Amino acid sequence: MNPLSFLTQMIRIAIPYLFAASGGVVAERSGIVSLTLEGFMLSGAFGAVVGTHYSGSPWVGVLTGMFGGLVFALIHAITTIRYRADQVVVGVAINLLAIGVTRFFLKLFFASSSNSPRVAGFGGNIKAAGFDNPLLWLGLLSAPVVAFMIYRTPFGLRVRAAGEHPEAAESVGVSVERVRYLAVAISGILAGLGGVYLALDQHQFTDQMTAGRGFIAISAVIFGRWSPIRAAGACLLFAAAETLQIQLQGSHAIPSQFIEMIPYVLTIIALAGVVGRAVPPAALGKVED
């Protein structure tokens, strides 16, 4: 096993997780449960392919993918913040809605229920090993930028106040609802970018192509104890497990079924180690009367 090859592949695999987990941290620190990351990623991936296919430009695809994630984020925000619906139930519904909507429009736009035509992407230089893709660098920067925003800006202070002490924030003039709307919108855009990276890296959209990555991203948020940098470290850990799984595929020493289980078993073990010790934001998932 070539260590350099392992590292480069691990970083490429980690990018969608980094985008989604960074978005999940923002929303959850504001008090909104982010089970919706899978749906945001899926809608972002589909939006990217539609925009790229009809414009011929992957940059337009990036914008339409961000918009796709934002639309589903606003649906999530309106139902949970404005109408005070149960955040877990809405999260499950958003993910199912994203699967159905993308499948419907896949058939409508591309006359296929399984995949879109191939579209343009970024990079392509084999020697660059994917590092000529600007989205890769944006993904690596996502966690430090979110950490700076949360811990070093007035908006970040409001996000933390909304997730920990919403009543105290309201008492000093902070609109908790507005802060949460913005936090969920940022979450949708960032998770949508994770889907954009997936779609443009694979040069097409396939039905349910996110394949549970959004759920692994929310696991990374919990494992990272709602810290952007720690969540990024968890994303790299999960990506390393997935890379190991891929590179062991050719081995006949271990049954393939066990190899395919590696990333998910690691996720369960990691969460089992922090559940009970990780303290979420005090107002996470709580509906204000």
Show the beta-strand stretches assigned E in the chain.
none
Token duo for residue 204: 């097409």
Token duo for residue 165: 């002490």
**Residue 143 exposed, middle or buried by CB count within 10 Å (0-12, 13-18, 19+):** buried
Q: How far is the C-alpha of 39 from the C-alpha of 279, rounded, in Å?
A: 25
CA 38 distance to own-chain centroid: 7
Provide φ and ψ at 283, rounded to 5°: -100, 15
Q: How far is the C-alpha of 58 from the C-alpha of 64, rounded, in Å?
A: 10
CA atoms within 13 A on the CB side of 248: 17
Q: How far is the C-alpha of 229 from the C-alpha of 137, rounded, in Å?
A: 16
pLDDT value, residue 215: 93
Q: How far is the C-alpha of 82 from the C-alpha of 109, rounded, in Å?
A: 33
CA 214 distance to own-chain centroid: 5
pTM for the whole thing? 0.93
3-274 CATH fold:
ABC transporter involved in vitamin B12 uptake, BtuC (1.10.3470)
Domain spans of the chain, in order of start:
3-274
pLDDT value, residue 239: 93
pLDDT value, residue 103: 95
pLDDT value, residue 266: 77
Spell out the per-residue pLDDT of the chain, length 289, in tens.
688 888 999 999 999 999 999 999 999 999 999 999 999 999 999 999 999 999 999 999 999 999 999 999 999 999 999 999 999 999 999 999 999 999 999 999 999 888 999 999 998 777 777 888 999 999 999 999 999 999 999 999 999 999 999 999 999 999 999 999 999 999 999 999 999 999 999 999 999 999 899 999 999 999 999 999 999 999 999 999 888 888 887 666 677 677 777 777 877 777 776 655 678 899 998 876 5
